[in-house]
Amino acid sequence: MTLHFAPDAASLPVVSPSRLDRYVATRSFDRPTLVMDLDLVEAQYRALRRGLGRADIHYAVKANPARQVIARLVDLGSHFDAASKAEIALCLEEGAAPSDVSFGNTIKRASDIAWAWDQGITLFAADAEEELHKIAENAPGASVYIRLIVEVSPGDWPLSRKFGCDRDTALRLLDMANGLGLNPVGFSFHVGSQTRRADMWIPTLDIMAAVWAAAIDAGHDLTLLNIGGGFPAFHGEEIDTPTHYASKVMKLVEARFPNVPRIMAEPGRGMVAEAGVIVAEVMLVSRKSDRDLHRWVYLDIGRFSGLAETEGEAIRYAFETARDSEAMGPCILAGPSCDSADVLYEKRPVQLPLSLTSGDRVLIRNTGAYTSTYASVCFNGFPPLDVVVI
């Protein structure tokens, strides 16, 4: 097997998940399809579980909400981070206990808060005064944690600016929560998705520890630290094994938060990305002129049908074809829609076979996270990404 990344990515050898390969090789697909291997999801869960030690795993459902994935994780004892009423309902339907589900989105409809409370959900996230008022009115007495902003993220897919609040606001929100009859239990943060090395967490952890200390000094009895996600998948640059990575992160956390009764972690990408492969097809290979330095290769999947994380060329997927033993050359990779933004990789072209032609199958590796959930319903009439779970 040969994997093809942009020239600046390290082409490290990766062993193909053989069960996935056998399944894909013996079947035809009439539309872009994500194939997920539940056994690989379980292996990742167990590996992260070993590394995270006493931290509770709250799987980030948004990464891949396939019902079979949730069911397997329930069986393994996972907890869940849900971002919506629908995600909460899914987890509960698959057997998760309400006490194992947190409503982790800081932007919630009041009626959804009330519904979640009625279902037995007792743990909610907030980062604004109005959100605390909504929780107090619709989930009286609920436990809340305040999300802190990470202004400089080391992740390949940062989550800064939109979520969280600064130190002074966070301390004020703890006081307000008390005044509203809520139970403010601690803080959360997210270092940024696809944070490739554990030592990248250090600056963020130092900042968070200072806020935690300020809250303790102000008289707050904090019992929960939610360290969020950031656990990486392999996308061309070398990363630690899940157990080693998680273990190193926990050592950094414990050194700064030695007496926290409860720690939560919310792996999403690191749990499911490497358990999936997308089967796609070449729709067209062309050049715009005789002066073009690179070919354009158009796939039947693009930004609007599952590959949204190619925005800014942030996540570098790996591509595999049956022609990989032939001569290679750089190309600009794009999706099929009639939208000029539907270009996947142009600044850093991808190496693909020069003989590639329409109808050829392309496998996109390690795509089990943030693909099916990003697919549009039917933009330009193209079908959304299909999902098969084995």
In the residue annotation, 378 being an active-site residue is answered as: no
- Please list, residue by residue across 116-144, b when 16 or more beta carbons sit within 10 angstroms of its beta carbon and e when fewer do: bbebebbbbbbbbeebbebbbebbeebbb
Task: Determine how many CB atoms are found less than 10 A away from the CB of residue 26.
Answer: 7
End-to-end CA gap in the chain: 21
Kindly give the confidence (pLDDT) of every residue in the chain, 390 residues in length, as a single tens digit, with 9 standing for 90 and above: 334 443 333 333 344 447 999 999 999 999 999 999 999 999 999 999 999 999 999 999 999 999 999 999 999 999 999 999 999 999 999 999 999 999 999 999 999 999 999 999 999 999 999 999 999 999 999 999 999 998 766 666 566 678 899 999 999 999 999 999 999 999 999 887 788 788 889 999 999 999 999 999 999 999 999 999 989 988 878 888 999 999 999 999 999 999 899 999 999 999 999 999 999 999 999 998 888 888 999 999 999 999 999 998 888 999 999 999 999 999 999 999 999 999 999 999 999 999 999 999 999 999 999 999 988 877 888 888 999 999
For 144, residues 6+ apart whose C-beta sits below 8 A from its C-beta are 123, 124, 125, 126, 132, 135, 177, 182, 183, 184, 185
* Full-model pTM: 0.91
Neighbours of 149 (CB within 10 A): 19
192: closest CA among 176, 183, 203? Answer: 203
For the record, the structure tokens of 305 come out as 């049908």
Sign of CA dihedral 99, 100, 104, 109: negative
* Set 165, 331, 338, 378: catalytic member: 338
Q: Give residue 135's pLDDT.
A: 98
Query: Under the phi-then-psi rule, with left for phi > 0, alpha for psi from -120 to 50, and beta for the rest, what region is 379?
Result: beta
Confidence at residue 5, expressed as pLDDT on a 0 to 100 scale: 40
